[in-house]
Structure 1
Amino acid sequence: MTTPESIVHQEKAQLDFSGSMSYGDYLHIDQILSAQHPLSPAHDEMLFIIQHQTSELWMKLLLTELGSAIADVRESRLPPAFKKLARASRIMEQLVHAWDVLATMTPPEYSAIRPYLGPSSGFQSFQYRCIEFALGNKNAAMLQPHAHHPERLALVRSFHEAPSLYDEALRLLARAGFAVPAGHLQRDWTQPYEASDAVEAAWLQVYRAPEQHWDLYQLAEKLTDLEDAFRLWRFRHVTTVERIIGFKRGTGGTGGVSYLRKMLDVVLFPELWRLRTDL
Protein backbone atom coordinates (compact mmCIF):
# COMPACT_ATOMS: atom_id res chain seq x y z
CA MET A 1 0.00 0.00 0.00
CA THR A 2 1.26 3.51 -0.84
CA THR A 3 1.77 5.60 2.29
CA PRO A 4 2.74 9.29 2.66
CA GLU A 5 6.16 8.13 3.84
CA SER A 6 6.69 5.98 0.73
CA ILE A 7 5.64 8.87 -1.54
CA VAL A 8 8.16 11.17 0.14
CA HIS A 9 10.83 8.50 -0.25
CA GLN A 10 10.03 8.12 -3.99
CA GLU A 11 10.14 11.89 -4.50
CA LYS A 12 13.53 12.09 -2.81
CA ALA A 13 14.81 9.32 -5.05
CA GLN A 14 13.61 11.21 -8.15
CA LEU A 15 15.43 14.36 -7.01
CA ASP A 16 18.78 12.63 -6.65
CA PHE A 17 20.57 12.40 -10.01
CA SER A 18 24.05 11.66 -8.71
CA GLY A 19 25.69 9.01 -10.82
CA SER A 20 23.12 9.22 -13.62
CA MET A 21 22.52 11.33 -16.69
CA SER A 22 20.53 14.49 -15.96
CA TYR A 23 18.50 16.83 -18.14
CA GLY A 24 21.45 19.21 -18.37
CA ASP A 25 23.84 16.41 -19.26
CA TYR A 26 21.62 15.08 -22.04
CA LEU A 27 21.09 18.48 -23.65
CA HIS A 28 24.62 19.81 -22.98
CA ILE A 29 23.02 22.84 -21.39
CA ASP A 30 26.31 24.15 -19.96
CA GLN A 31 27.88 24.32 -23.41
CA ILE A 32 24.79 25.95 -24.96
CA LEU A 33 24.42 28.58 -22.23
CA SER A 34 28.12 29.41 -22.30
CA ALA A 35 28.14 30.04 -26.06
CA GLN A 36 27.03 33.70 -25.82
CA HIS A 37 29.97 36.11 -25.85
CA PRO A 38 28.90 39.73 -26.38
CA LEU A 39 31.65 41.94 -27.79
CA SER A 40 30.06 45.29 -26.99
CA PRO A 41 28.97 46.83 -23.68
CA ALA A 42 25.41 47.16 -25.06
CA HIS A 43 22.62 45.39 -23.17
CA ASP A 44 20.82 44.43 -26.40
CA GLU A 45 23.64 42.39 -27.89
CA MET A 46 22.51 39.33 -25.93
CA LEU A 47 19.18 39.46 -27.78
CA PHE A 48 21.00 39.71 -31.11
CA ILE A 49 23.23 36.72 -30.36
CA ILE A 50 20.52 34.43 -28.99
CA GLN A 51 18.13 35.31 -31.83
CA HIS A 52 20.66 34.10 -34.38
CA GLN A 53 21.91 31.12 -32.40
CA THR A 54 18.42 29.75 -31.86
CA SER A 55 17.59 30.34 -35.52
CA GLU A 56 20.63 28.27 -36.46
CA LEU A 57 19.39 25.45 -34.21
CA TRP A 58 16.00 25.52 -35.89
CA MET A 59 17.73 25.54 -39.28
CA LYS A 60 19.72 22.47 -38.27
CA LEU A 61 16.45 20.64 -37.60
CA LEU A 62 14.94 22.02 -40.80
CA LEU A 63 17.85 20.65 -42.82
CA THR A 64 17.47 17.27 -41.11
CA GLU A 65 13.78 17.14 -42.06
CA LEU A 66 14.31 18.40 -45.60
CA GLY A 67 17.18 16.02 -46.30
CA SER A 68 15.15 13.06 -45.10
CA ALA A 69 12.03 14.19 -46.99
CA ILE A 70 14.02 14.53 -50.22
CA ALA A 71 15.28 10.96 -49.77
CA ASP A 72 11.71 9.76 -49.12
CA VAL A 73 10.38 11.42 -52.28
CA ARG A 74 13.29 9.97 -54.26
CA GLU A 75 12.29 6.50 -53.05
CA SER A 76 8.52 7.13 -53.48
CA ARG A 77 7.92 6.93 -49.72
CA LEU A 78 5.29 9.62 -49.55
CA PRO A 79 3.58 9.10 -46.14
CA PRO A 80 6.79 9.72 -44.14
CA ALA A 81 7.69 12.55 -46.52
CA PHE A 82 4.38 14.25 -45.74
CA LYS A 83 5.11 14.16 -42.01
CA LYS A 84 8.59 15.63 -42.46
CA LEU A 85 7.41 18.35 -44.84
CA ALA A 86 4.63 19.30 -42.44
CA ARG A 87 7.21 19.54 -39.65
CA ALA A 88 9.49 21.63 -41.91
CA SER A 89 6.64 24.11 -42.43
CA ARG A 90 6.09 24.36 -38.67
CA ILE A 91 9.81 24.98 -38.18
CA MET A 92 9.60 27.80 -40.71
CA GLU A 93 6.79 29.28 -38.62
CA GLN A 94 9.08 29.25 -35.59
CA LEU A 95 11.71 31.09 -37.62
CA VAL A 96 9.10 33.63 -38.73
CA HIS A 97 8.04 34.38 -35.15
CA ALA A 98 11.65 34.79 -34.07
CA TRP A 99 11.72 38.06 -36.01
CA ASP A 100 9.02 39.38 -33.66
CA VAL A 101 11.51 39.31 -30.80
CA LEU A 102 14.37 40.85 -32.77
CA ALA A 103 12.01 43.62 -33.94
CA THR A 104 11.98 44.93 -30.36
CA MET A 105 15.52 46.18 -31.03
CA THR A 106 15.45 49.85 -32.04
CA PRO A 107 17.84 51.57 -34.49
CA PRO A 108 19.93 53.22 -31.73
CA GLU A 109 20.22 49.89 -29.90
CA TYR A 110 21.46 48.14 -33.04
CA SER A 111 23.80 51.01 -33.87
CA ALA A 112 25.48 50.49 -30.50
CA ILE A 113 26.52 46.92 -31.42
CA ARG A 114 26.98 47.17 -35.19
CA PRO A 115 30.63 48.36 -35.06
CA TYR A 116 31.51 45.21 -33.11
CA LEU A 117 30.08 42.84 -35.74
CA GLY A 118 32.75 43.50 -38.36
CA PRO A 119 31.87 41.87 -41.70
CA SER A 120 29.94 39.03 -40.07
CA SER A 121 26.42 38.64 -41.44
CA GLY A 122 23.53 36.21 -41.63
CA PHE A 123 24.31 36.26 -45.36
CA GLN A 124 27.20 33.93 -44.44
CA SER A 125 25.03 31.29 -42.74
CA PHE A 126 26.02 28.00 -44.37
CA GLN A 127 22.93 26.24 -43.04
CA TYR A 128 20.64 28.85 -44.56
CA ARG A 129 22.43 28.45 -47.88
CA CYS A 130 21.92 24.67 -47.72
CA ILE A 131 18.20 25.26 -47.13
CA GLU A 132 18.00 27.59 -50.14
CA PHE A 133 19.76 25.02 -52.32
CA ALA A 134 17.62 22.14 -51.00
CA LEU A 135 14.55 24.16 -52.00
CA GLY A 136 15.95 24.83 -55.47
CA ASN A 137 17.26 28.40 -55.33
CA LYS A 138 20.65 27.52 -56.83
CA ASN A 139 23.35 30.18 -57.25
CA ALA A 140 27.01 29.20 -57.60
CA ALA A 141 28.16 32.60 -56.36
CA MET A 142 26.75 31.74 -52.95
CA LEU A 143 29.47 29.09 -52.51
CA GLN A 144 32.16 31.76 -52.25
CA PRO A 145 31.29 33.05 -48.72
CA HIS A 146 32.14 29.56 -47.40
CA ALA A 147 35.39 29.00 -49.34
CA HIS A 148 37.50 29.78 -46.26
CA HIS A 149 36.04 26.78 -44.39
CA PRO A 150 36.55 23.53 -46.38
CA GLU A 151 34.13 21.36 -44.37
CA ARG A 152 31.30 23.88 -44.60
CA LEU A 153 32.03 24.49 -48.26
CA ALA A 154 31.80 20.75 -48.96
CA LEU A 155 28.42 20.56 -47.23
CA VAL A 156 27.01 23.58 -49.07
CA ARG A 157 28.38 22.27 -52.38
CA SER A 158 26.72 18.89 -51.80
CA PHE A 159 23.33 20.62 -51.62
CA HIS A 160 24.20 22.80 -54.60
CA GLU A 161 25.02 19.80 -56.78
CA ALA A 162 22.15 17.54 -55.71
CA PRO A 163 18.58 17.52 -57.04
CA SER A 164 16.36 19.80 -55.00
CA LEU A 165 13.16 18.81 -53.26
CA TYR A 166 11.16 20.02 -56.25
CA ASP A 167 13.45 18.21 -58.71
CA GLU A 168 12.71 14.96 -56.89
CA ALA A 169 8.99 15.76 -56.85
CA LEU A 170 9.03 16.14 -60.63
CA ARG A 171 10.89 12.86 -61.05
CA LEU A 172 8.23 11.22 -58.91
CA LEU A 173 5.54 12.83 -61.06
CA ALA A 174 7.20 11.33 -64.14
CA ARG A 175 7.43 7.89 -62.52
CA ALA A 176 3.68 8.09 -61.93
CA GLY A 177 3.18 8.40 -65.68
CA PHE A 178 2.82 12.15 -66.15
CA ALA A 179 4.46 13.91 -69.09
CA VAL A 180 7.37 15.77 -67.53
CA PRO A 181 9.95 17.04 -70.05
CA ALA A 182 13.17 15.03 -70.11
CA GLY A 183 15.14 18.23 -69.53
CA HIS A 184 13.52 18.52 -66.10
CA LEU A 185 14.38 14.94 -65.14
CA GLN A 186 18.06 14.87 -66.06
CA ARG A 187 19.83 18.20 -66.06
CA ASP A 188 22.61 20.18 -64.44
CA TRP A 189 21.24 20.37 -60.88
CA THR A 190 23.50 23.33 -60.07
CA GLN A 191 21.45 25.54 -62.39
CA PRO A 192 18.37 27.47 -61.25
CA TYR A 193 15.06 25.80 -62.02
CA GLU A 194 13.16 27.10 -65.05
CA ALA A 195 9.37 26.91 -65.09
CA SER A 196 7.69 24.80 -67.76
CA ASP A 197 4.21 24.87 -69.28
CA ALA A 198 4.42 21.09 -69.65
CA VAL A 199 5.18 20.67 -65.93
CA GLU A 200 2.24 22.92 -65.08
CA ALA A 201 0.02 20.80 -67.34
CA ALA A 202 1.13 17.67 -65.46
CA TRP A 203 0.32 19.21 -62.08
CA LEU A 204 -3.01 20.43 -63.47
CA GLN A 205 -3.95 16.83 -64.21
CA VAL A 206 -3.31 16.02 -60.57
CA TYR A 207 -5.35 18.95 -59.28
CA ARG A 208 -8.26 18.27 -61.61
CA ALA A 209 -8.59 14.72 -60.27
CA PRO A 210 -7.28 14.88 -56.69
CA GLU A 211 -9.07 11.71 -55.54
CA GLN A 212 -7.44 9.75 -58.35
CA HIS A 213 -3.96 11.15 -57.64
CA TRP A 214 -4.30 11.77 -53.91
CA ASP A 215 -0.67 11.24 -52.88
CA LEU A 216 0.67 13.56 -55.57
CA TYR A 217 -2.02 16.11 -54.72
CA GLN A 218 -1.01 15.95 -51.07
CA LEU A 219 2.66 16.31 -51.99
CA ALA A 220 1.93 19.41 -54.07
CA GLU A 221 0.02 20.97 -51.17
CA LYS A 222 2.80 20.16 -48.70
CA LEU A 223 5.25 21.89 -51.05
CA THR A 224 2.95 24.89 -51.32
CA ASP A 225 2.62 25.05 -47.52
CA LEU A 226 6.40 25.03 -47.21
CA GLU A 227 6.97 27.78 -49.74
CA ASP A 228 4.17 29.82 -48.17
CA ALA A 229 5.94 29.65 -44.81
CA PHE A 230 9.30 30.42 -46.42
CA ARG A 231 7.86 33.51 -48.12
CA LEU A 232 6.57 34.73 -44.76
CA TRP A 233 10.06 34.24 -43.28
CA ARG A 234 11.62 36.28 -46.07
CA PHE A 235 9.04 39.04 -45.69
CA ARG A 236 9.51 39.30 -41.93
CA HIS A 237 13.26 39.35 -42.50
CA VAL A 238 12.95 42.32 -44.86
CA THR A 239 10.59 44.29 -42.64
CA THR A 240 12.65 43.65 -39.49
CA VAL A 241 15.89 44.72 -41.17
CA GLU A 242 14.24 47.83 -42.61
CA ARG A 243 12.77 48.65 -39.22
CA ILE A 244 16.17 48.41 -37.52
CA ILE A 245 18.69 49.71 -40.08
CA GLY A 246 16.61 51.32 -42.81
CA PHE A 247 18.40 51.17 -46.16
CA LYS A 248 21.97 51.00 -44.85
CA ARG A 249 24.20 48.34 -46.43
CA GLY A 250 24.36 45.01 -44.64
CA THR A 251 27.38 44.15 -42.51
CA GLY A 252 28.27 41.37 -44.96
CA GLY A 253 28.48 43.83 -47.86
CA THR A 254 25.05 43.18 -49.42
CA GLY A 255 22.62 45.95 -50.23
CA GLY A 256 20.68 45.14 -47.08
CA VAL A 257 16.96 45.75 -47.61
CA SER A 258 17.36 46.17 -51.39
CA TYR A 259 18.97 42.72 -51.64
CA LEU A 260 16.36 41.11 -49.39
CA ARG A 261 13.51 42.60 -51.39
CA LYS A 262 14.86 40.97 -54.54
CA MET A 263 14.68 37.64 -52.74
CA LEU A 264 10.93 38.14 -52.24
CA ASP A 265 10.48 37.69 -55.99
CA VAL A 266 12.12 34.24 -56.04
CA VAL A 267 9.50 31.52 -56.60
CA LEU A 268 10.63 28.03 -55.64
CA PHE A 269 7.82 25.88 -57.05
CA PRO A 270 6.42 28.10 -59.82
CA GLU A 271 4.01 25.71 -61.52
CA LEU A 272 2.24 24.95 -58.25
CA TRP A 273 1.37 28.63 -57.95
CA ARG A 274 0.61 29.28 -61.61
CA LEU A 275 -1.84 26.40 -61.93
CA ARG A 276 -4.23 28.04 -59.47
CA THR A 277 -5.06 30.65 -62.10
CA ASP A 278 -5.73 27.97 -64.71
CA LEU A 279 -7.88 25.61 -62.63
Structure 2
Amino acid sequence: QVSELWMKLIIHELRAAIAHLQADDLGPCQKILARVKQIQKQLFEQWAVLETLTPSEYLAFRQVLGPASGFQSLQYRAIEFLLGNKNRDMLRVFAHDPEAQSQLAAMLQAPSLYDEFLRHLKRHGYAIPTECCARDWSNPYTRNPGLLPVLREIYEHPDQHWDAYHLCEQLVDVEEAFQLWR
Protein backbone atom coordinates (compact mmCIF):
# COMPACT_ATOMS: atom_id res chain seq x y z
CA GLN A 1 0.00 0.00 0.00
CA VAL A 2 1.01 3.58 -0.57
CA SER A 3 0.91 4.40 3.15
CA GLU A 4 3.44 1.65 3.89
CA LEU A 5 5.84 3.15 1.34
CA TRP A 6 5.48 6.61 2.85
CA MET A 7 6.02 5.19 6.34
CA LYS A 8 9.13 3.35 5.16
CA LEU A 9 10.49 6.66 3.88
CA ILE A 10 9.62 8.43 7.15
CA ILE A 11 11.52 5.77 9.10
CA HIS A 12 14.53 6.18 6.83
CA GLU A 13 14.40 9.96 7.20
CA LEU A 14 13.91 9.93 10.98
CA ARG A 15 16.90 7.63 11.40
CA ALA A 16 18.96 9.99 9.26
CA ALA A 17 17.76 13.02 11.25
CA ILE A 18 18.74 11.28 14.49
CA ALA A 19 22.20 10.48 13.09
CA HIS A 20 22.70 14.12 12.07
CA LEU A 21 21.63 15.30 15.53
CA GLN A 22 24.08 12.87 17.12
CA ALA A 23 26.79 14.46 14.96
CA ASP A 24 25.56 18.00 15.76
CA ASP A 25 24.99 18.49 12.03
CA LEU A 26 21.86 20.62 12.11
CA GLY A 27 21.57 21.76 8.49
CA PRO A 28 20.87 18.31 7.05
CA CYS A 29 18.75 17.41 10.08
CA GLN A 30 16.53 20.43 9.52
CA LYS A 31 16.19 19.67 5.80
CA ILE A 32 15.23 16.08 6.60
CA LEU A 33 12.62 17.16 9.15
CA ALA A 34 11.07 19.50 6.57
CA ARG A 35 10.85 16.50 4.22
CA VAL A 36 9.30 14.33 6.95
CA LYS A 37 6.63 16.99 7.46
CA GLN A 38 5.81 16.91 3.73
CA ILE A 39 5.59 13.11 3.74
CA GLN A 40 3.27 13.27 6.73
CA LYS A 41 1.15 15.78 4.83
CA GLN A 42 0.83 13.24 2.00
CA LEU A 43 -0.26 10.60 4.49
CA PHE A 44 -3.07 12.57 6.05
CA GLU A 45 -4.22 14.30 2.86
CA GLN A 46 -4.87 10.96 1.18
CA TRP A 47 -7.81 10.54 3.56
CA ALA A 48 -9.60 13.36 1.71
CA VAL A 49 -10.18 10.96 -1.19
CA LEU A 50 -11.73 8.34 1.09
CA GLU A 51 -13.97 11.00 2.63
CA THR A 52 -15.72 11.30 -0.73
CA LEU A 53 -16.91 7.68 -0.52
CA THR A 54 -20.19 6.59 0.97
CA PRO A 55 -19.97 3.70 3.44
CA SER A 56 -21.32 1.29 0.81
CA GLU A 57 -18.77 2.48 -1.77
CA TYR A 58 -15.98 1.94 0.74
CA LEU A 59 -17.26 -1.51 1.69
CA ALA A 60 -17.26 -2.51 -1.98
CA PHE A 61 -13.44 -2.66 -1.97
CA ARG A 62 -12.56 -2.85 1.75
CA GLN A 63 -11.87 -6.60 1.66
CA VAL A 64 -8.92 -6.15 -0.73
CA LEU A 65 -7.17 -4.03 1.90
CA GLY A 66 -6.74 -6.99 4.24
CA PRO A 67 -7.25 -7.19 7.98
CA ALA A 68 -4.26 -5.12 9.15
CA SER A 69 -4.74 -1.98 11.18
CA GLY A 70 -2.36 0.72 12.33
CA PHE A 71 -2.12 -1.11 15.63
CA GLN A 72 -0.62 -4.07 13.76
CA SER A 73 1.72 -2.04 11.54
CA LEU A 74 5.39 -2.53 12.32
CA GLN A 75 6.24 0.68 10.49
CA TYR A 76 3.69 2.72 12.39
CA ARG A 77 5.12 1.48 15.69
CA ALA A 78 8.65 2.17 14.46
CA ILE A 79 7.69 5.77 13.69
CA GLU A 80 6.14 6.13 17.14
CA PHE A 81 9.29 4.78 18.80
CA LEU A 82 11.60 6.98 16.71
CA LEU A 83 9.53 10.03 17.68
CA GLY A 84 9.62 9.02 21.35
CA ASN A 85 6.19 7.50 21.97
CA LYS A 86 7.54 4.28 23.44
CA ASN A 87 5.51 1.49 24.95
CA ARG A 88 7.19 -1.82 25.75
CA ASP A 89 3.81 -3.60 25.55
CA MET A 90 3.73 -2.98 21.80
CA LEU A 91 6.49 -5.57 21.37
CA ARG A 92 3.98 -8.27 22.30
CA VAL A 93 1.87 -7.44 19.26
CA PHE A 94 4.76 -8.75 17.14
CA ALA A 95 5.49 -11.92 19.14
CA HIS A 96 4.55 -13.96 16.05
CA ASP A 97 7.31 -12.22 14.05
CA PRO A 98 10.68 -12.41 15.90
CA GLU A 99 12.48 -10.31 13.27
CA ALA A 100 9.95 -7.48 13.53
CA GLN A 101 9.95 -7.74 17.31
CA SER A 102 13.75 -7.52 17.33
CA GLN A 103 13.72 -4.41 15.10
CA LEU A 104 11.22 -2.70 17.38
CA ALA A 105 13.10 -3.76 20.51
CA ALA A 106 16.24 -2.09 19.14
CA MET A 107 14.30 1.14 18.53
CA LEU A 108 12.76 0.89 21.98
CA GLN A 109 16.25 0.77 23.55
CA ALA A 110 17.65 3.65 21.47
CA PRO A 111 17.27 7.40 22.06
CA SER A 112 14.39 8.97 20.12
CA LEU A 113 14.57 12.07 17.94
CA TYR A 114 13.51 14.19 20.93
CA ASP A 115 16.06 12.50 23.20
CA GLU A 116 18.81 13.29 20.70
CA PHE A 117 17.57 16.87 20.46
CA LEU A 118 17.95 17.25 24.24
CA ARG A 119 21.39 15.63 24.13
CA HIS A 120 22.40 18.02 21.34
CA LEU A 121 21.30 21.00 23.44
CA LYS A 122 23.25 19.71 26.45
CA ARG A 123 26.42 19.28 24.34
CA HIS A 124 26.03 22.91 23.29
CA GLY A 125 25.90 24.30 26.79
CA TYR A 126 22.19 24.41 27.50
CA ALA A 127 21.24 23.50 31.08
CA ILE A 128 19.42 20.30 30.18
CA PRO A 129 18.87 18.20 33.32
CA THR A 130 21.17 15.17 33.34
CA GLU A 131 18.25 12.81 33.92
CA CYS A 132 16.86 13.84 30.50
CA CYS A 133 20.05 12.74 28.76
CA ALA A 134 21.09 9.70 30.77
CA ARG A 135 18.06 7.51 31.26
CA ASP A 136 16.55 4.21 30.22
CA TRP A 137 15.50 5.04 26.66
CA SER A 138 12.97 2.21 26.63
CA ASN A 139 10.81 3.99 29.19
CA PRO A 140 8.31 6.58 28.04
CA TYR A 141 9.59 10.13 28.37
CA THR A 142 8.41 11.91 31.49
CA ARG A 143 8.10 15.66 31.72
CA ASN A 144 10.96 17.38 33.50
CA PRO A 145 10.28 20.86 34.91
CA GLY A 146 13.99 21.65 34.56
CA LEU A 147 13.50 21.93 30.80
CA LEU A 148 11.07 24.84 31.05
CA PRO A 149 13.68 27.55 31.74
CA VAL A 150 15.80 26.28 28.84
CA LEU A 151 12.91 26.23 26.38
CA ARG A 152 11.64 29.58 27.66
CA GLU A 153 15.06 31.12 27.01
CA ILE A 154 15.15 29.66 23.50
CA TYR A 155 11.63 30.89 22.67
CA GLU A 156 11.97 34.31 24.29
CA HIS A 157 15.26 35.02 22.50
CA PRO A 158 15.13 33.15 19.19
CA ASP A 159 17.66 35.52 17.62
CA GLN A 160 20.25 34.38 20.19
CA HIS A 161 19.35 30.68 19.89
CA TRP A 162 18.29 30.46 16.24
CA ASP A 163 19.41 26.89 15.55
CA ALA A 164 17.78 25.55 18.71
CA TYR A 165 14.65 27.62 18.10
CA HIS A 166 14.32 26.47 14.50
CA LEU A 167 14.80 22.85 15.50
CA CYS A 168 12.19 23.22 18.28
CA GLU A 169 9.72 24.54 15.74
CA GLN A 170 10.43 21.71 13.33
CA LEU A 171 9.94 19.12 16.07
CA VAL A 172 6.61 20.74 16.93
CA ASP A 173 5.62 20.65 13.25
CA VAL A 174 6.49 16.96 12.94
CA GLU A 175 4.59 16.12 16.13
CA GLU A 176 1.56 18.15 15.03
CA ALA A 177 1.54 16.43 11.63
CA PHE A 178 1.82 13.04 13.34
CA GLN A 179 -1.21 13.87 15.49
CA LEU A 180 -3.22 14.91 12.41
CA TRP A 181 -2.30 11.71 10.59
CA ARG A 182 -2.85 9.48 13.59
What are the superposed Cα offsets for residues 91-114 of structure 1, whole Å, 9 maximum, x if unpaired? Answer: 000001111122233323444566
TM-score, length of structure 1 as denominator length: 0.61
The whole-number CA distance in structure 1 between the counterparts of 2:108 and 2:173 is 23
2:139 matched residue in structure 1: 191
Deviation string, structure 1 residues 19-75 (Cα, Å, up to 9, x no partner): xxxxxxxxxxxxxxxxxxxxxxxxxxxxxxxxxx10110111111110000111111
Distance 1:173 1:213 in 2: 11
The answer to whether residue 115 in structure 2 is matched with residue 167 in structure 1 is yes
Q: What is the alpha-carbon distance in structure 2 between the residues aligned to residue 78 and residue 160 of structure 1? A: 24
What is the distance in 1 between the residues matched to 2:70 and 2:132? 32
> For residues 249-268 of structure 1, what are the structure 2 equivalents within 5 Å?
none
Q: Please, which of 145, 149, 152 is the counterpart of residue 201 of structure 1?
A: 149
The match for 1:153 is: 101
**What is the distance in 2 between the residues matched to 1:180 and 1:204?**
12
Higher helix share: 2
Aligned CA distance change for structure 1 residues 118 and 93 (closer, same or farther; 3 Å): closer
| 1:108 corresponding residue in structure 2 | 56
Counterpart of 2:32 in structure 1 is 84
Rounded to whole Å, the distance in 2 between the matches of 1:105 and 1:142 is 32
CA-to-aligned-CA distance 1:198-256 (integer Å, 9 cap, x gap): 1121111112221221111111111111112112212xxxxxxxxxxxxxxxxxxxxxx
Residue identity in the other structure for 1:103: E
User: What is the RMSD computed on CA atoms of the aligned residues?
Assistant: 1.8
RCO higher in structure (CA 8 A, sep ≥6): 2
Residue deviations 1:150-188, cap 9 Å, x none? 221121111111100000001111111111111111111
Question: Which of 108, 125, 141 is residue 73 of structure 2 equivalent to?
Answer: 125
Determine helix, strand or coil for the equivalent of 1:197.
Answer: coil
What is the deviation of 1:119?
Answer: 4.9
**SS of 2:48 mapped into structure 1:** helix
Matched with 2:175 is 227
Counting aligned pairs with the same residue, the percent is 51
Deviations 1:123-162 (A, max 9, x none): 2110010000011111111111212112211211111111
The residue type paired with residue 180 of structure 1 is I
Find the structure with the greater CA-based Rg: 1
Distance, in Å, in 2 between the alignment partners of 1:226 and 1:128 is: 15
> In structure 1, the residue corresponding to 2:121 is in which secondary structure?
helix
Give the secondary structure class of the aligned counterpart of 1:168: helix
Residue matched to 1:180 = 128
Give TM-score scaled by structure 2 length.
0.92
Letter in 1 for 2:135: R
Gaps of 5+ in 1: 1-52, 235-279
Distance in 2, matches of 1:135 and 1:95, equals 16
